[in-house]
Amino acid sequence: MLAQAADNEKGLKRTLGAGHLVALGIGAIIGAGLFVRTAAASAEAAGPAVTMSFVVAAIACAFAGLCYAEFSAMIPISGSAYTYAYATMGELAAWIIGWSLVLEYALGAATVSIAWSEYLNNLLGMKIPFQWCHSPFEHVNLLYHKVFKNGVMFVSDDVLKALPAAVKGMVVTTHGLINLPALFILLALTLLLIKGTQESAFINAIIVFLKVAIVLLFIFLGWHYIKPENHTPYLIPANASGHGGMFQHGWGGVLGGAAIVFFAFIGFDAVSTAAQEAKNPKRDMPIGILGSLIVCTILYVLFSYVLTGIANWQEFADPSKGKEASVAYAIKTYMPHYASWMPTMVTIAILAGFSSVILVMLMGQSRVFYSMANDGLLPKAFSDLHPKFRTPYKANWILFAFVGSFAAFIPGSIAGDLTSIGTLFAFMLVCAGVIIMRKTDPDHPRPFRTPLVPLFPILGIGICFLMIISLPLNTQLSALGWMLFGLVIYFSYSKSRSKLNLPS
HEC string of 128-180?
A: CCHHHECCCCCEEEEEEEHHHCCEEEEECHHHHHHCCHHHHCCEEEEECCCEH
Per-residue model confidence (pLDDT) at position 190: 92
What is residue 249's DSSP assignment? S
**Residue 284: which of 57, 9, 7, 23 has the closest Cα?**
23
* CB-count burial class (<10 Å; 0-12, 13-18, 19+) for 203: middle
Separation in Å, CA 84 to CA 141, 283, 353, 361, 440: 50, 18, 28, 19, 14
Spatial CB neighbours of 169, under 8 Å, sequence gap ≥ 6: none
Q: How far apart are CA 378 and CA 488, in angstroms?
A: 14
Per-residue model confidence (pLDDT) at position 487: 93
Q: Are the beta carbons of 45 and 256 closer than 8 angstroms?
A: yes
Q: How far apart are CA 36 and CA 33, in angstroms?
A: 5
Which of the listed CATH numbers 1.20.1740.10, 2.130.10.30, 1.10.10.60, 2.40.50.140 matches domain 2-122+182-499? 1.20.1740.10
Please state the domain extents for the chain. 2-122+182-499, 124-178
Beta bridge partners, 179, equal 133
Which of helix, strand or coil describes residue 278?
strand
For the whole model, what pTM was predicted? 0.75
Per-residue model confidence (pLDDT) at position 51: 93
Q: How far apart are CA 407 and CA 409, in angstroms?
A: 6
Per-residue model confidence (pLDDT) at position 343: 83
Task: Calculate ∠ Cα 88-89-94, nearest 5°.
Answer: 105
Per-residue model confidence (pLDDT) at position 1: 66
Q: Which amino acid is at 52?
A: M
Q: How far apart are CA 166 and CA 158, in angstroms?
A: 17
Q: Which residue positions in the chain have pLDDT lower than 70?
A: 1-14, 32-33, 78-79, 141, 143-160, 166-169, 197, 247, 273, 318-325, 412-418, 502-504
Compute the Cα dihedral for 332, 338, 339, 341 and give only its sign.
negative
